[in-house]
Amino acid sequence: MNILLEKIDFSKIKSSVIFLYGSDVASRSLPFKRDEVAYIEAKRKEDISSLVILNRLPYKIYVQSFNSELPVDESLEQIRKSAAALQLMLMKEKVQSVAFTGEGIIPEEAVAFLEGLHMANYRFEKYKNKKESLLSDVHVDSLLIEPEVMKENLNLWRRIDRLRDWVNEPVMYLNAPLFADILKEEASALSNVKCTVLGLKKIEGLRMGGLLAVNRGSEDEPRFVVLEYKPENRVNKRPVALVGKGVMYDTGGLNIKPDDYMTEMKSDMAGAATMASAVFAAAENKLPVYIMAFLPLTDNRPGKNAYAADDILRMYDGTTVEITNTDAEGRLILADAIAYASDQKPDVIIDAATLTGAAVRALGTSCIAVMQQDADKYFGLLNIIGNRVYERLAPLPFWKEYDEMLKSEVADMINCNLQAKAGTITAGRFLAHFAHGCPYIHLDIAGVAFYSKRESFYGQGASGFGLRLLYAFFQMYDTIGN
């Protein structure tokens, strides 16, 4: 979808228009006929989020109201959702070009509407012969938004689309080596991002026992990708270390998943895709934050000489891990990556992973399960940002007592607590062991990374949930000390 800033004279528009109406103070300035204004106001009294359609054949005016008196975060989320609902209507009516203007709104509200519209307009149609009729062009009144703000947001939204493409892509077309190649190509297009790709031999040299074990059942070699964005005007001397789970497809290994659980497992690399996208988005818009990403990539298959329950692995940092379930593979490849990231002495380590079904059962599909260790100030900002952009965090307890559930009789740890208790927390505690004293935040995105049915502007399939959160966190990173 193209979003174009231009001067719009409402009185001369002869095409379909979206008109965003916020504060009631603007009622006297509405550019409509008296009877139209009366109709709009009557509808607002019935429902302040109403959509009124004025039919001025051969085009229509879509007057979308919203409640500007709500708390800011709620109001902006309502606007995004209204935009998503309108996008579906425009698609059914096969409208491909609209103008966008409004009254009684501020720039943040205009941006929120366009954000919802752009994200809702996304479809993964690469393999469809018959494609849907989507919005192609939105002509935005230049009085609403500054060009620099529009450009920055467009870059972010297009990066979200690219992230969703990666997560939606089937593993037969996107395995670990191919994804590593794509990340290297993306980095090369951004002169300020360095990409290092480690192949099988180098991973073996580093003795990344978790990544190597999970890969043993696969026909495809693993990859370990390191991205580095280090701007000259950075506000942090030490990097923010992002770690993302990159299981390109998860069969469960020898603890193979039943059919209904294996569907959508192409999305098990959403953590790696999200963290790579966060680096690229920050670099593209030249945010002054030093960021590194550590991305272990493999699929988890039951073939060849696949690792098995009762195996004992020696991880990158020397920790030994008894395998109790081969379907708890994500934490194994993340553990190696987190330990490797800790060697860089970062400000904070943040990982993102579609890690546990327990997170979905506990919290549903509207928030991220989060745990943190020694990272109060970083988590404090991230939590505030989560509320602001409405990609909210649900903190879970992270007490050391949960470590008792990870004890092994034959190794330092087990990889999976087999009791039907605290599955999300014990997975996080397992990972925290490998942070080695670095401030650490664990984001379990299992409930939000991929939707089986349409969820407002996040759509169906890959959602991109979490990238707006991380980007806004980097925008505000210089406030950490305060």
Q: Return d(Cα 21, Cα 90) in angstroms, integer.
A: 18
Nearest-5° angle of CA 106, CA 460, CA 183? 85
**DSSP code string of 203-239:** HHHHT-HHHHHHHTT-SSPPEEEEEEE--TT-S-SSP
Q: Return d(Cα 394, Cα 367) in angstroms, integer.
A: 6
Q: Return d(Cα 376, Cα 396) in angstroms, integer.
A: 14
Q: Return d(Cα 14, Cα 479) in angstroms, integer.
A: 47
CB atoms within 10 A of CB 367: 18
Does 331 qualify as catalytic in the annotation?
A: yes
For 194, the enclosing helix (H) or strand (E) is strand 193-198
Q: Which of 194, 407, 242 is nearest to 340 (CA)?
A: 242
Residue 337 corresponds to which tokens in the numbers above? 């990556």
Residue 178 buriedness (CB in 10 A; 0-12 / 13-18 / 19+) = middle
How does strand 312-314 pair with strand 320-322?
antiparallel
Residue 362 buriedness (CB in 10 A; 0-12 / 13-18 / 19+) = middle
The catalytic residue among 238, 257, 377, 388 is 257
Residue 102 corresponds to which tokens in the numbers above? 């409004």
**Residue written as tokens 């990272």?**
375
Q: Return d(Cα 69, Cα 426) in angstroms, integer.
A: 42
Q: Which of 195, 197, 119, 76 is nearest to 454 (CA)?
A: 119
Q: Return d(Cα 370, Cα 440) in angstroms, integer.
A: 11
| Dihedral angle over CA of 397, 403, 404, 410, nearest 10 | 160
Does 429 qualify as catalytic in the annotation?
A: no
Residue 302 buriedness (CB in 10 A; 0-12 / 13-18 / 19+) = middle
Q: What are phi and psi of 480, to 5 degrees?
A: -50, -45
Q: Return d(Cα 335, Cα 357) in angstroms, integer.
A: 19
The catalytic residue among 331, 392, 429, 468 is 331
Residues 424 and 396: beta-carbon distance below 8 Å: yes
Active site residues: 257, 331
